[in-house]
């Protein structure tokens, strides 16, 4: 019985993290958004590209516009988030 509780508990935690990350958008700084994103990202078993896409989709239009002029964007989610934080700090 304990194994079932553990399995369902983990699934519930992942599902809650998935729902939060899908609904998450940048409302403050990119740094704040990244901090929230990371807390749920770590509960998921998504690959880098899925995380990257979700993070990008939640960015503010201003940050996405700034990213449009950067040709050589990092492909790693953590490096991409750092680029977004720097861009936000420069705005």
Q: Which residues contact 31 (CB under 8 A, 6 or more apart)?
A: 85, 88
- Predicted confidence (pLDDT) per residue in 65-87, tens digit: 999 999 999 999 999 999 999 99
User: In the structure, what pLDDT confidence band is assigned to residue 91 with cuts at 50, 70 and 90?
Assistant: confident
Q: Which residues contact 65 (CB under 8 A, 6 or more apart)?
A: none
Q: What is the C-alpha to C-alpha distance for residues 3 and 62, in angstroms, rounded to an integer?
A: 47
Q: What is the C-alpha to C-alpha distance for residues 21 and 62, in angstroms, rounded to an integer?
A: 20
Q: Is the pLDDT of residue 7 over 70?
A: no
Of 70, 58, 67, nearest to 88 by C-alpha is: 67
Mean per-residue pLDDT of the chain: 89
Q: What percent of the chain has pLDDT over 90?
A: 78
């Amino acid at each position: 019985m304990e194994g079932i509780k553990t399995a369902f508990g983990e699934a519930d935690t992942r599902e809650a993290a998935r729902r939060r990350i899908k609904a998450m958008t940048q409302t403050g700084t990119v740094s704040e958004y990244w901090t929230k994103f990371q807390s749920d990202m770590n509960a998921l078993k998504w690959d880098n590209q899925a995380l990257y896409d979700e993070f990008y989709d939640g960015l503010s239009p201003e940050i996405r516009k700034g990213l449009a002029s950067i040709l050589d964007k990092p492909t790693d989610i953590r490096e991409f988030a750092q680029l977004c934080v720097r861009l936000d700090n420069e705005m």
